[in-house]
Structure 1
């Protein structure tokens, strides 16, 4: 099973940069998109439709402010939209597809980079989502969360970590939150199961210098319940596939989706 996750920063612009031609060539079983900024009916039209996939979308109340989508070759048993708290559901920040024994979610956090109010919303979301993840660990099924967390976890996930540690995305409370997810809650970072290499970034500031010097951070993840750890076969970030400010995260699992 191959899962591709990508924050598109608006699917219309990403499509103009060739996203859907690239996706059609990737042989993915599941595609999770974040920050689509369109309505569900719009996403069902060209150029966003991909033949051979079931397609689901949870749009924001104001479509230009978020939204997430899942494309899957296997029809799911159920689709769940939202997390049950206002900051998630108003902005269309979570959609989940349920299959036999495993659920796959597409997740979008507030970036926290648009001023104090946005940062406070991010911290509130993180707190609410931690409670949600804790409850999910008690269920008798496995979960894969594919999302743009807008937080880098470790120093090797940031190019110039000393310069970034007081900026949203690598602040102490954000790193402590990541420690909680991958520590006390027991979730697994799929990429770090495969490699401990540095320079594995998924987001870059929108400037030519940031691009040329690779001044990036790893904001995008696939993280999973520990029962799936041994099924992670490969994980990588294709750096030549750039359709937004983010890079895709591609993970192969030794798992076959069934219903």
Structure 2
């Protein structure tokens, strides 16, 4: 099973940059998009469909920001659009497809970078979603959370980390939250399960110099429940071609998707 996830910074712009042409060559079973910036109605349009895939989308109250989507070759048993708390549901931050024994979700966290209000919104989502993840790990099924977190977990995940310790996205409270997920809750970071290399980044600022010097951050993850730990076969962040500020994360699992 291959799962690809990417924060598209607007699905229409990403399509113009060639995202769907690229995806059609990747043979993914499930594709998770974050930050679609499109209404659920827009996501039903022919130009936003991928040949051979079912498309499911969740939008925000203000569709120009937020929104997540899942494309899947196999029709799922169920789709979940709501987590039951405002910090997610109002902003279209979560969608989940349920298959036999495994659920795959697309998750968009607030960046927290625009203002104090946005940072507070990020911490609120972290509290709410952290409690949700803590409950889910006790369920008798496995989960893949394709998450665009806007948080670099550790030193390997940001260039020149010493200079970034006070920046949003690498602050102590944010990193502690990530550590609680991979530590106390024992979720698995799919990429780090197969690679401890540095300079594996998924986000770069809108600057040619930043990209050429690989001044990046790893903000994008596939987070797994413990039962999937030994199924990870390979994981790759694709710097080129570029479709948004974020790189696609492709993970291959020793798993056959079924309903």
Taking structure 1 as the reference length, the TM-score comes to 0.98
Q: Which residue of 1 aligns with 2:249?
A: 249
Q: Deviations over 1:50-93 (max 9, x none)?
A: 12111100011110011000000011000000211101001100
Aligned-partner SS, 1:43: helix
Following the alignment from structure 1 to structure 2, what is the Cα–Cα distance between the partners of residues 52 and 150? 31
1:32–1:146 Cα contact (<8 Å) kept? yes
Following the alignment from structure 1 to structure 2, what is the Cα–Cα distance between the partners of residues 121 and 34? 17
- Does 2:76 correspond to 1:76? yes
Q: Which residue of 1 aligns with 2:147?
A: 147
- Does 2:63 correspond to 1:63? yes
Note the residue ranges of structure 2 that are not aligned, 5 or more in a row. Answer: none
Taking structure 2 as the reference length, the TM-score comes to 0.98
Q: Which residue of 2 aligns with 1:5?
A: 5
How far the C-alpha of 1:46 sits from its partner, in A, is 3.3
1:4–1:28 Cα contact (<8 Å) kept? yes
Following the alignment from structure 1 to structure 2, what is the Cα–Cα distance between the partners of residues 232 and 211? 28
Q: Deviations over 1:195-224 (max 9, x none)?
A: 000000000111222112111000000010
How far the C-alpha of 1:119 sits from its partner, in A, is 0.7
1:20–1:47 Cα contact (<8 Å) kept? no
Q: Deviations over 1:26-51 (max 9, x none)?
A: 10000000000111221222322112
Q: Which residue of 2 aligns with 1:236?
A: 236
Q: Which residue of 2 aligns with 1:174?
A: 174
- Does 2:56 correspond to 1:29? no
Which deviates the most, 206-215 or 1-10? 206-215
Following the alignment from structure 2 to structure 1, what is the Cα–Cα distance between the partners of residues 21 and 212? 25
Which deviates the most, 63-72 or 40-49? 40-49
Q: Which residue of 2 aligns with 1:19?
A: 19
Note the residue ranges of structure 1 that are not aligned, 5 or more in a row. Answer: none
Aligned-partner SS, 2:6: strand
Aligned-partner SS, 2:218: coil
Aligned length, in residue pairs: 259
How far the C-alpha of 1:191 sits from its partner, in A, is 0.1
Cα RMSD, aligned residues only: 0.8
